[in-house]
Amino acid sequence: MDKKNIEELRRLAEANGIDPDTLLAIAETDGLPDNLQEAIAAVLGDIAMFGHALDKLDD
């Protein structure tokens, strides 16, 4: 996961009352199979894009 996505996830987590370190730890778990890690990364990326789109609506 690139730095921009990590920062966005951290911001979204804090905005929604979720501990960002816990969320990132889940996203970067090494014990998951590669295909599941890819699925989690895709979902988290979608969440970040959704949050960004919502932010644009507030402007």
Domain span holding position 26: 3-58
What are the pLDDT digits (tens) for 15-55? 888 888 887 787 776 667 778 878 888 888 888 888 888 88
For 7, 47, 49, 52, 54, the CA distances from 59, given in Å and listed in that order, are 20, 19, 16, 11, 9
In whole angstroms, give the CA distance from residue 38 to residue 26.
Answer: 12
* The pLDDT value given to residue 31: 67
Count of structural domains within the chain:
1
Q: pTM of the prediction?
A: 0.47
* The pLDDT value given to residue 30: 64
CB atoms within 10 A of CB 9: 21
* The pLDDT value given to residue 24: 79
